[in-house]
Structure 1
């Protein structure tokens, strides 16, 4: 107890851990705002020694190494034969972005470090307007230059960020240069060791966004549990205070309004009309919503629903629901994925869940997925678990690491608070219990509740195994469980344990706290097309199918189980997995192969979900 109190005190006193360390700009719905899409051809160049960031004695890089310089090296060299350049971004190879550098060249397969990207674009900046570079994601760190001037940095490979370039953007030709650094340490989030592919680079779209001087920086519209439509709006700009705000929900004929306070904030609500149709997996109704303020306007399609916990039940729109789901990584189908998550790529994956597995739920592991995915989940009717990459052995005793995790969590929540599909925010996955970890994660849980009181908080935990008198009991005794709305456990009995599969249905589950439980992971590897009917050897389709049958039989006996997201929809790349016959750099726990071939276990889970597929129990 003393260690826990000391850990909590250290975190609370650390100035870098304050929730107030919000970014200067949120730029909500930045992907939908008017602007210029900078997807397409970019030049690229590796920089394994980070020569473009600093000279070999420290300090600024030499003129021969500045990838971001606003010059054409070849043109300068023609004018001055004594000029020296040891790089030339203008004439470097070209790739199409967004997408990880894993697909640029065969030599980049396991590259981990700094890569530079550069392109030019034409602009016509107008007086009285503001301009931002909005990035969907750069994995893991981004250093951004415009016309040779540094305009900002961002750490965190999976959340959006926007950098204001109003004073740097010029009429005509502009040059943007981005250093993408994938290297992680034991202090980063996630740490060095994970079980998925790094996929460094500019993995989501980049846009030049134009806004008025006073812009809608953040807006959140939701249905409260007492039946009201509530809006929270924040403006940015010198004249953000005293601005008129108007919220319009067209199909419902609803409009409500107010005036921002001195710092540009406003909140208001109105009784939801009886004609409102609540969003659900069965009827994923979305409404056209507009927010107008300060000469700015943003449009969105938003669903309205409520989610809460009562005893051991999860209630969607006031009715108990069983979450029929599966986990997935952000990796498109194909033998050479590059994390280019287009709408078509996202739909192909989510359709396998919704239509193939008869699912209503997806766990987007182990980091925030693209907003393409969450918007599509809204449209298709899939409930979403969203999480940040606090994974395994994060440095829980370091205040700066906590501050980074809090920033990532805020960026994730603010981006997707208007997505009806998102019902669970997860703060961690399989983290070892310690006083420092408990304090770290409890801080994140408190932040979630401050940022979003309309959803549930969870984390993927581990359980203790007890054996007595030939009976196996899995006990959920993680102290974090008391702080969560929904408990979740990753369990791999019969795969990572020596249990015969026939034993699994007899395993009991117990918890000292009374809350709903999700089996957030369970699974077994199988290489598509490898069969062993007689022995059901591990890595065979037969073993995986039987593993699912027996694990589902175990799950059916857990009285407080309210959902599951087995591991995993699709085989995915993982450098940890190197069996020369079965893995070769792929985690094979998918129910479909990397190219989309369904394995036998797919039909086992689909049949189970078909049986329990009623909207309420």
Structure 2
């Protein structure tokens, strides 16, 4: 293999992770998180967001000495000792760092905003801060990081408590035996560098945003607690709950899931592994979640001393021929794609609830949308919960993107770990309809095996939703007409097909002929146009030439593509590329791009382009006339 075992898998093996039924045994050998910690934000604990100090380490001096051995005492940035005090007592002591007096930064937030010189930094950065704790007998403590890009080591009071690989999913490390009364010091070593075996690989079309981009918390729970709770409405009309307890008293414990507004209580007892499977018929009074009526219910999961709250919507999803069914009725997905990047001239992936609401409101109210593709990686839990609340159907995906090392077993293990972490975090979100396993990946036998494995993991972990992937299409001319079709063999394993199509922007097809392209499919399955569009610099107008990067050209690409889309009878939705201009180091045209991908319908600061109105009018027409 080209590199070591995945950190996720290796760390799990170190702790002796055993598969369990609610999450692990259903995953068929996938690399799984040791702890799920459902709805971690609702748990007691301490928010560690705020001011941290940081130190760049481009040569990874804090990881190892220059001969490859252990880092020396004067180089270990995770050491909690006070360097200034040590050197006062011993003036001959040599330290190459001082974390307590290093520059300050506010977390969460990428290091792109720490200092101008870190705009394109790739490598290792150390973060540290102190916090007070008061551990209690019979209580367990965990460090929970919402996301850090890309590899992370977590130290508490000088001890390594865990490692994680992957930039967009949460990880939880137990620190019960390391946490002290009074002051504690936590250090995170976050390395953004990726290699050809990483997921995603180094070459992408978006900003890396290295660093800690989601919240860090100290979470406290009872000795035995609800680690994973999945409550859903299934297609047979049953409300089912799968509850997994963690701790010495997990087996044979009474579990109760309550939905007070419905007068519904599901009761049972865990088996010897700490798993309870509960079910009851859905009450007649149940109001199903939909974009028009995004009803959420307060749900409680109780076991012993632990009570876990949740807000859950109940709905069903299925496919019938080439239609997607929500609650048994056909629905056309009127959507847009979106990166996790807040509005502003200098974003740093600081997706607060307000930042996410500003973007989702543009989709729901501005575009008359009911659907968002959260590209190209799992977005923040806050965004998913807002989609639940606002009534937006979600496509959620993992960053299996472009040039993945398909034959590398370690790469596959990392990807499987990401799938598991994504699904286990978000299975309670009614808004999620589609799990996507890949984007624009070229066909090969190795690739097919890799993605079939991920599809199998998704179906074992969550058989209630639909599986998709953004595929590539093939086109040929027949009797003077361009005909496009889906020739990817992966289509046979998907519930919903998806195609990224950029006629009029990439390729040689004249813009005025885009509307004449015809689509055919040998699959009796729904199709989503998961991407289409064109770049435009907001405010740049060239109505006479209508050259690329003008607002007029982008608007015409939308008009032509939407006209083409109206002639596709098996089309079930669209998520054009993309809501907002976003950072991309690949895009360096000095006039139009300057480090931004300009395919957004709004600029980085929120200015709507002409094409925004074109798409909004089409979605309003579809909503009023009903394509379903």
Under a length normalisation based on structure 2, what TM-score does the superposition of the two structures give? Answer: 0.95
Equivalent in the alignment of 1:154: 164
CA deviation profile, 1:184-218 (whole Å, cap 9, x unmatched) = 01101000100000000000000000000001110
Counterpart of 1:418 (choices 417, 422, 428) is 428
Distance (Å, rounded) in 2 between the aligned partners of 1:79 and 1:229: 65
Equivalent in the alignment of 1:7: none
Residue 284 in structure 1 maps to residue 294 in structure 2: yes
Equivalent in the alignment of 1:473: 483
Residue 269 in structure 1 maps to residue 309 in structure 2: no
Equivalent in the alignment of 1:171: 181
What is the deviation of 1:514? 1.2
Is the Cα contact below 8 Å between 1:569 and 1:592 reproduced in 2?
A: yes
Counterpart of 2:594 (choices 578, 581, 584) is 584
Distance (Å, rounded) in 2 between the aligned partners of 1:601 and 1:406: 38
Structure 1 residues 579, 616: CA separation in 2 closer, same or farther (over 3 Å shift)? closer
Distance (Å, rounded) in 1 between the aligned partners of 2:472 and 2:510: 20
Counterpart of 1:131 (choices 125, 130, 141) is 141
Is the Cα contact below 8 Å between 2:384 and 2:429 reproduced in 1?
A: yes
Residue 103 in structure 1 maps to residue 113 in structure 2: yes
User: Counterparts of 1:42-191 in structure 2 under 5 Å?
Assistant: 42-191=52-201
Is the Cα contact below 8 Å between 1:18 and 1:403 reproduced in 2?
A: no
Distance (Å, rounded) in 2 between the aligned partners of 1:77 and 1:246: 57
Distance (Å, rounded) in 2 between the aligned partners of 1:262 and 1:92: 50
Distance (Å, rounded) in 1 between the aligned partners of 2:131 and 2:527: 51
Equivalent in the alignment of 1:554: 564
CA deviation profile, 1:338-394 (whole Å, cap 9, x unmatched) = 000000000000000000000000000000000010000000000000000000010
What is the deviation of 1:294? 3.0
User: Counterparts of 1:195-206 in structure 2 under 5 Å?
Assistant: 195-206=205-216
Distance (Å, rounded) in 2 between the aligned partners of 1:251 and 1:384: 26
Partner-residue secondary structure (3-state), 1:122 = strand
Q: Flag structure 1 segments of 5+ consecutive residues without an equivalent.
A: 1-14
Partner-residue secondary structure (3-state), 1:338 = coil
Equivalent in the alignment of 1:443: 453
Distance (Å, rounded) in 1 between the aligned partners of 2:42 and 2:116: 34
Equivalent in the alignment of 1:525: 535
Distance (Å, rounded) in 1 between the aligned partners of 2:439 and 2:199: 12
Distance (Å, rounded) in 2 between the aligned partners of 1:392 and 1:177: 33
Is the Cα contact below 8 Å between 2:230 and 2:243 reproduced in 1?
A: yes
Counterpart of 2:401 (choices 370, 387, 391) is 391
Distance (Å, rounded) in 1 between the aligned partners of 2:35 and 2:456: 23
Is the Cα contact below 8 Å between 1:391 and 1:431 reproduced in 2?
A: yes
Residue 487 in structure 1 maps to residue 497 in structure 2: yes
CA deviation profile, 1:216-273 (whole Å, cap 9, x unmatched) = 1101000011111100011111221001000000111100110000010010100111
Partner-residue secondary structure (3-state), 1:292 = strand
Is the Cα contact below 8 Å between 2:31 and 2:420 reproduced in 1?
A: no
Equivalent in the alignment of 1:601: 611
Distance (Å, rounded) in 2 between the aligned partners of 1:433 and 1:522: 21
Distance (Å, rounded) in 2 between the aligned partners of 1:521 and 1:482: 21
What is the deviation of 1:332? 0.1
Is the Cα contact below 8 Å between 2:30 and 2:457 reproduced in 1?
A: no
What is the deviation of 1:502? 1.3
Is the Cα contact below 8 Å between 1:280 and 1:381 reproduced in 2?
A: yes
Under a length normalisation based on structure 1, what TM-score does the superposition of the two structures give? Answer: 0.97
Equivalent in the alignment of 1:453: 463
What is the deviation of 1:20? 4.7
Partner-residue secondary structure (3-state), 1:90 = helix
Counterpart of 1:255 (choices 261, 265, 272) is 265
Distance (Å, rounded) in 1 between the aligned partners of 2:348 and 2:153: 21
- How many pairs were matched up? 603
Distance (Å, rounded) in 1 between the aligned partners of 2:200 and 2:41: 25
Distance (Å, rounded) in 1 between the aligned partners of 2:318 and 2:58: 49
Distance (Å, rounded) in 2 between the aligned partners of 1:47 and 1:510: 53
Distance (Å, rounded) in 1 between the aligned partners of 2:243 and 2:124: 38
Partner-residue secondary structure (3-state), 2:112 = helix
Equivalent in the alignment of 2:361: 351
Q: CA RMSD in A?
A: 1.2
Is the Cα contact below 8 Å between 1:22 and 1:407 reproduced in 2?
A: yes
Q: Flag structure 2 segments of 5+ consecutive residues without an equivalent.
A: 1-12, 18-26
Is the Cα contact below 8 Å between 2:28 and 2:457 reproduced in 1?
A: no
Distance (Å, rounded) in 1 between the aligned partners of 2:358 and 2:425: 23
Is the Cα contact below 8 Å between 2:141 and 2:220 reproduced in 1?
A: yes
Distance (Å, rounded) in 2 between the aligned partners of 1:396 and 1:115: 29
Is the Cα contact below 8 Å between 1:319 and 1:616 reproduced in 2?
A: no
Distance (Å, rounded) in 1 between the aligned partners of 2:533 and 2:589: 18
CA deviation profile, 1:493-534 (whole Å, cap 9, x unmatched) = 010012122101110111221100000000100000000011
CA deviation profile, 1:127-164 (whole Å, cap 9, x unmatched) = 11000000100100110100011000000000001000
Equivalent in the alignment of 2:23: none
Distance (Å, rounded) in 2 between the aligned partners of 1:89 and 1:331: 29
What is the deviation of 1:21? 3.0
Is the Cα contact below 8 Å between 2:581 and 2:598 reproduced in 1?
A: yes
Is the Cα contact below 8 Å between 2:55 and 2:102 reproduced in 1?
A: yes
What is the deviation of 1:19? 2.4
What is the deviation of 1:23? 2.0
Partner-residue secondary structure (3-state), 2:410 = helix
Partner-residue secondary structure (3-state), 2:623 = coil
Distance (Å, rounded) in 2 between the aligned partners of 1:283 and 1:25: 33
Distance (Å, rounded) in 2 between the aligned partners of 1:59 and 1:166: 30
Is the Cα contact below 8 Å between 1:102 and 1:200 reproduced in 2?
A: yes
Distance (Å, rounded) in 2 between the aligned partners of 1:536 and 1:29: 50
Equivalent in the alignment of 1:511: 521
What is the deviation of 1:616? 6.5
Distance (Å, rounded) in 2 between the aligned partners of 1:53 and 1:236: 33
